[in-house]
Amino acid sequence: MAKRKPKKAGRKKIAKRRTVPRCGLCGKTGNLTKTECCDQWICDDEDQYVIFSYARNSCYRNHSRYTLCGYHYNEDHQGDWKTCAKCREDFESELEMYVESGTNEYNFEKLENPPDYDPTKCNKCGRIIVLSEGGYSQRADEYWCPECTDSKFPKGIFG
Ligand SMILES: [Zn+2]
Ligand SMILES: [Zn+2]
Ligand SMILES: [Zn+2]
Ligand SMILES: [Zn+2]
């Protein structure tokens, strides 16, 4: 795709207020609702979620389940989730999940200054494990990457 120069000048005049609301995550129109947590337009699609499927095809669910914004709201915290000390505390031992939940694609607004965290490494091979991608296994404080998990438990014992 060719990069276009952003036209800033004169934009104000052209920009009319959009009257058609769009889902803030996928941009669809129609069958929308507002998020309870942050009052943004979003697909009203939670009923399409198939239980135990772990599918991430519902904008509504993705936002309320996989973001700090949703977490913050569901836990009844006060104030802005981006500066919430409670959220931060709750994820103290899993900072990676905190950063992921605050910066993933299901957010309308992202964490501006996500804290640094030590990546989780496989206790067997030392590879970095991306927690949000799943497939790894955890016992006590040991983490195994998906590859090591598969080679040790080929029949998917954890599944
Ligand atoms: Zn959507
Ligand atoms: Zn929200
Ligand atoms: Zn919070
Ligand atoms: Zn490994």
Query: What is the C-alpha end-to-end distance of the chain, expressed in Å?
Result: 41
**Distances 88 to 69, 70, 84, 104, 119 between C-alpha atoms, Å:** 12, 14, 7, 16, 17
On the 0-12 / 13-18 / 19+ scale of CB atoms within 10 A, 3 is exposed
How many Å lie between the centroid of ligand 4 and the Cα of residue 16? 53
How many Å lie between the centroid of ligand 2 and the Cα of residue 27? 16
Ligand nearest to the CA of 59: 1
In this structure, the answer to whether residues 28 and 74 fall within a common structural domain is: yes
In this structure, the answer to whether residues 26 and 63 fall within a common structural domain is: yes
How many Å lie between the centroid of ligand 4 and the Cα of residue 92? 24
In this structure, the answer to whether residues 70 and 142 fall within a common structural domain is: no
Confidence (pLDDT) at 57:
78
How many Å lie between the centroid of ligand 3 and the Cα of residue 82? 8
pLDDT digits (tens, 9 = 90+) for 96-152: 999 999 999 999 999 998 988 888 999 999 999 988 888 999 988 899 999 999 887
**Beta bridge partner(s), residue 8:** none
Ligand nearest to the CA of 75: 3
In this structure, the answer to whether residues 37 and 89 fall within a common structural domain is: yes
- Domain span at residue 95? 21-103
| pLDDT surpassing 90 at residue 86 | yes
Instruction: Please tell me the distance from the alpha carbon of residue 32 to that of residue 21, in angstroms, as a whole number.
Output: 8
Backbone angles phi, psi at 122, to 5 degrees: -65, 130
